[in-house]
Amino acid sequence: MTRVLFIDNIGLKEEVIKKACSLAFKAHKSPEKSYVSEKIRISSESNLFISFPGSWDQNNWFSKKPFGESKIDLNLFPSLRSVGNDEAALVNEAFLLKFKNILDNSSLKFEVNKAMEDGKQIVFTGHSCGAAVAILATFWALEEYLNPNQNHKPPLCITFGSPLVGNHIFSHATKRENWSHNFIHFVKRFDIVPRIMLAPYSSIEQLFSSILQYLNPKSKPSTQDSTRRGTLTCDFYSTVMKNTATVTSHAACNLMGSSNLLLETVTNFVDLSPYRPFGTYIFCNGNGQMIVVKNSDVVLQLLFHTTQLRDLAELSEVANKNILEHLVYEVELKDCFEMLNVVYLNQLEELPLSNDGSNSDIATISTALDGLGLSTRARLCLRAAGMLEKHKKNNEDKIDKKKALASMKELEEYKATCEIQKGYYDAFKVQKETRDFQANVKRLVLAGIWDEIIEMLKRYELPDEFEGNSEWVKLGTSFRRLVEPLDIANYYRHLKNEDTGPYMIKARPKRYRYTQRWVEHANRIPTGASSESTILAEVEELWSWSNNNKPFEDIKEKVMTLEQDIKRWFEKGEITRNVFLKDSTFVKWWETLPIEHKATSCIATLIGMQ
């Protein structure tokens, strides 16, 4: 492994990593500061390093029981969600509050903004819970500065011994946004801190304050404290690892597709940590070797299986070692870069359950796993994670093959024919001709294809990158604009009972909700700003209210909002003049509005052009 190859594979220069590590530990010497920053030129590139100090106060680690998690602030981190499922990420609340406090009460915003404008490469870094703040700072910078109108260098995040920060959506979102490579996490094999968040706070609360002091690089325990320290570290290590075993075992069963009802029963009685790894992990195995892992499911398994004991006699030694491991990253990195023995964990679906001694790439991985002390069971878990990743890719390949079936050419031709006469929506709603029946058949075929896609997304059975794929976002938008009006027409054609409710509330399928969220997220526009495919659903409801003798003043605000949206969509080319055909449902409804309103309406000119 050459240095150039290593740099190319992880996207970071050796000097950048070393400087980040040095500054991460330097920040601990200035805990009174919100952060420490340094400007340095590396290989002709100007860099700004920003490091956040850790904290040895347990209130800065857990804000509440059982795990201290809360929903992410989507105003600050709009990308940290599952777009289609509309599910916000969970984040450690104490870490989030600490970052927000720094953001609001320091010069961080100004310094980052100036560095971005000057074209500097920003590197956020930190050790221990300072690393957690660095992670959130990186997400903030990515959200704040990487919009389509700017051309700044993407910030990087390099952490050392970081605790876990958020749930599975962190991994899902970073892959979708193509941000995973911006986060590099170094973890020593026996460091307990990256595993702490897998245990509920109640299980470690009595020990945690003392353990944090042992983890504090400034603490100097007395010799009289050594016996008590040994007992506490053993108890703490055992508690954390028991909970880690529960979490990883449950995850492994899911990876292997277990349908045992006991799994569901366990989650009903046992609180499982929501925290999960994300980004690129580099495990330092203590022998100068670095093992690079990009699969978050594999990382979770390694957090448990790399710390297993051969027998209980090792417990005291390992428990004390995990405290020391957390404090000596600089020494470990120095050894690793001298040897530069790097192994990349990939093709894990082919991983043998034991080292067969061959010279293939898989054999190299297998040997590295031997160095981490991985058992046959551990290898099975890693292989299952590799198989799941491959299964998601296979699902995507199957979906890609259905693009031809998803062709909307027939419906586009049907729409063009209808708009010469009555209009697309109204012709389909009446259903008088054979071509209307054929269009309905095609509508149902397309609905089936897209429903299959959406169900896979709902269960996270497609690659996380899928919802960020510009081709699928474009195809989904075209599908929604073309087919949803037919669904709306079909709904109101069959609507018999007024109690059934509005289409938007009672009947809108996920296939349209998901694809609308995709394009809104891709274009970074507000929720609902791309609802042009639902114009006629709004019209049908407004007309229904008018027919029920509701005063115009009661619906005036809704009418004006709809008209403004229509004008905006028309000017952007997202709807055409065919919406305003003389005998269309839209125009017939609009003609029922009060004369004084129509005279000042923002779309009066558009209707008059027909």
Residues 6+ apart with CB under 8 A from 501: 507
Could you list the beta-strand ranges (E) of 154-288.
156-160, 183-188, 280-284
**3-class SS of residue 125:** strand
d(C-alpha 295, C-alpha 174), whole Å: 12
Q: Contacts from 501-509 at CB under 8 Å and sequence distance 24+?
A: 502/537, 502/541, 503/534, 503/537, 503/540, 503/541, 504/534, 504/537, 504/538, 504/541, 508/534, 508/537, 509/447, 509/451
Q: What phi, psi does 311 have (nearest 5°)?
A: -160, 165
92, containing H or E segment: strand 90-92
Q: Are 399 and 453 in contact (CB under 8 A)?
A: yes
- Cis peptide before 66, with omega less than 30 degrees from 0? yes
Q: Pick the catalytic residue: 82, 326, 426, 487?
A: 326
The reply to whether 128 belongs to the active site is: yes
Q: Which listed residue (55, 191, 273, 296) is catalytic?
A: 191
- The token pair at 522 is 């891709």
Helix or strand or coil: residue 525?
coil
Give the torsion through C-alpha atoms of 350, 354, 360, 362, to 10 deg.
Answer: 40
CA 184/CA 171 separation, integer angstroms: 13
Query: Is 464 marked active-site?
Result: no
Residue spans of alpha helices (H) in 295-433: 296-305, 315-325, 329-339, 361-371, 376-401, 409-418, 424-430
Task: Read off the DSSP letter of residue 154.
Answer: P
The helix/strand/coil state of 588 is: helix
Q: Find all residues with CB under 8 Å of 9, minimum gap 6, and list them.
A: 292, 342, 344
Active site residue 191: yes
Q: Which of 82, 128, 180, 273 is catalytic?
A: 128
Question: What letter does residue 466 receive in the DSSP assignment?
Answer: G
End-to-end Cα, the chain, rounded Å = 70
Alpha-carbon gap, residue 301 to 41, rounded angstroms: 38
The packing angle between helices 261-269 and 226-255, to 10°, is 140
Which of 486, 498, 488 shows the shortest CA–CA distance to 441? 486
DSSP, residue by residue, 155-191: PEEEEESPPP-B-HHHHHHHHHTT-GGGEEEEEETT-
For the chain, give the number of residues.
Answer: 610
171 in Cβ contact with 153 (< 8 Å): no
Four-CA torsion 557, 558, 559, 565, nearest 10 degrees = 110
Active site residues: 128, 191, 326
